[in-house]
Structure 1
Amino acid sequence: MSILIGTTIPDNIASSDPYIINAFKLLDNARTNGDSILSRLAYIRLAHVFESLKKIVASDRRNGQLPARRSGYRNASIAIDIYIDAQEQAGTSREEVKKRNRVARRWRTLAGPSPIFVIIYSEAAEGLAYVRFFVIYTALY
């Protein structure tokens, strides 16, 4: 899978490493310019990259590599800021990034243990990724 090549976050990098920005750019390109299957896989990978980035941000905070932030500004907020910085077009809102992240997590949930499952899903699964999580949860169980 070509989208995995440039999006696997190496161990022991800082949240400011350009590798993270490049990973987000590659995923956004695959998410928007690919076919539906490639888009699904890019969303799943996006969920993993966000998870990795939040762990990196937490590590950077513990090591004192990030400046003190205001109260309530958590690791996820910093990850969102980094993602916004990676956007090719200006004006991507925090709400849009949160929506993309929600969709990414839903595709990851639908894929289960193997992202290959998204290839066999019908187009009906496409709608499941874009509805509220409790509907997905109800449909799966």
Structure 2
Amino acid sequence: MIRYYVGVLLFVSLQQVKGQSRMDVNKQAATISTQVMVIRNKTMNTSGYLFNTGDGKTNFQKTGCAIQFTVGTTGFPANGENSYTHSSLVKKAVKVWRNGLLQKPNTQQGISIDNATGKIVFYPALVQSEKIYIEALEDAAFSL
């Protein structure tokens, strides 16, 4: 009976050893700094962000662009103008901040966005030295 138990024990222990696989982790691949684990792999030079597409799958999405300017700066709208057009805003999900305040679609106090042309119309017109920040993301980032 003891031989039987020893035989079963050896068989089970050999199966566990056989089931283990080798994994090498070097110092550059995994680091822990300030309680955050950072894992580096072959995609470290890929631009964009990791987007969950569902069913446990992820892929990289483009991040879009950000435009920041002060009204009256050369190349940007001047005092009294009410529109700004940029090709990077075409077919993007656009958010606009005016002096740090998020602008909502409103023709009295806000903005109007034409995604087909990349044109933003400001209501009321822009005033000298206002700070404008525009963020344009790929539409896929907002789809559910």
Computing the radius of gyration from Cα coordinates, the structure with the larger value is 2
Q: TM-score range by the shorter chain?
A: under 0.3
TM-score (norm 1): 0.25
TM-score, normalization: structure 2?
Answer: 0.24
Q: Which has the higher strand share?
A: 2
